[in-house]
């Protein structure tokens, strides 16, 4: 059986990212897919980009990875842009939109927010039709078929749902800015990668504790804008700004 770790929404939080990568390594997992938002909100967008590039096999774009490249008057954005520099900004621009592959007879589609947009936000409590639409193909993908398994990030809230027709929808939660509990989150997919014939398949949700106060101290030491709402989110898991 193959195992793939699915991480998402790092947001420049290095203590959280390092804790998750250590847990993945301790489990002997060597394949990691990242569902975007490497940057934004946290103090180390540069180090997060560098480490994710080193450790992850495939990385898709998130909404922050896109709009961080646009001209802006917001201090938090221009601050991150200056730290990232032109080479990392160009790398973020090169990221693909989604990942599609077969695993244990299932078509798996992974993306940041939805198959259609980096900015379409769908929650586990939204109406069924909206949730089911996350399984549908779009112009951004290659395989024009409804997925059997769809996974995403963006909302910083991990969940698993089984939908009509044997379909599976999951959210990997957030490594660096969890908004459902005060620990980093990621998912392990287990099955036979690349196989079109049915075989056992599983999803495991993992929560990893990390030093939240260290993340806040690093933001203060680096002079990051908007430290107060960032600290509240990390300490409480309560939303205080853009995801």
Contact 35, 56 (CB under 8 A): no
Q: Name the pLDDT band for 2 (thresholds 50, 70, 90).
A: very high
Indicate the pTM of the whole model. 0.96
**What tokens does 70 get?**
């646009």
pLDDT per position as a tens digit, 209-229: 999 999 999 999 999 999 999
Mean pLDDT across the chain, nearest whole number? 96
Q: Is the pLDDT of residue 240 over 70?
A: no
- Mean pLDDT along residues 15-28: 98
Contact 209, 186 (CB under 8 A): no
Select the more confidently predicted residue: 171 or 241.
Answer: 171
pLDDT per position as a tens digit, 98-107: 999 999 999 9
- Mean pLDDT along residues 46-61: 98
Q: Is the pLDDT of residue 243 over 90?
A: no
Residue extents of the structural domains in the chain: 2-236
Q: Is the pLDDT of residue 241 over 70?
A: no
Q: Is the pLDDT of residue 242 over 90?
A: no
**CA distance linking residue 20 with residue 26, whole number of Å:** 10
Distance of CA 77 to the CA centre of its chain: 19
CATH classification of 2-236, choosing from 3.60.21.10, 3.30.565.10, 3.60.15.10, 3.40.50.300?
A: 3.60.21.10
| Nearest alpha carbon to residue 57 among 17, 10, 7, 118 | 7
Select the more confidently predicted residue: 17 or 238.
Answer: 17
Q: Name the pLDDT band for 239 (thresholds 50, 70, 90).
A: confident
């Amino acid at each position: 059986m193959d195992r793939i770790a699915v991480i998402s929404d790092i947001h420049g939080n290095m203590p959280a990212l390092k804790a998750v990568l250590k847990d993945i390594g301790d489990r002997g997992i060597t394949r990691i897919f990242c569902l975007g938002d490497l940057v934004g909100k946290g103090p180390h967008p540069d180090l997060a980009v560098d480490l994710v590039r080193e450790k992850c096999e495939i990385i898709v774009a998130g909404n922050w990875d896109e709009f961080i490249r646009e001209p802006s008057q917001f201090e938090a954005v221009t601050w991150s842009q200056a730290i990232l520099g032109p080479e990392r900004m160009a790398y973020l621009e090169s990221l693909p939109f989604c990942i599609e592959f077969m695993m244990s007879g299932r078509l798996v589609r992974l993306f940041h927010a939805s198959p259609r947009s980096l900015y379409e936000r769908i929650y586990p409590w939204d109406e069924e039709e909206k949730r089911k639409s996350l399984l549908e193909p779009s112009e951004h993908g290659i395989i024009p078929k409804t997925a059997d398994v769809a996974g995403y990030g963006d909302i910083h809230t991990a969940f698993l749902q089984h939908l009509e027709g044997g379909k599976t929808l999951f959210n990997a939660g957030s490594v660096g800015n969890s908004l459902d509990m005060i620990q980093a989150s990621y998912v392990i997919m287990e099955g036979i990668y690349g196989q079109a014939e049915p075989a056992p398949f599983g999803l495991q949700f993992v929560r990893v504790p990390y030093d939240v106060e260290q993340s806040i101290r690093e933001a203060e030491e680096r002079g990051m804008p908007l430290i107060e709402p960032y600290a509240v989110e990390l300490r409480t898991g309560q939303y205080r700004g853009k995801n």
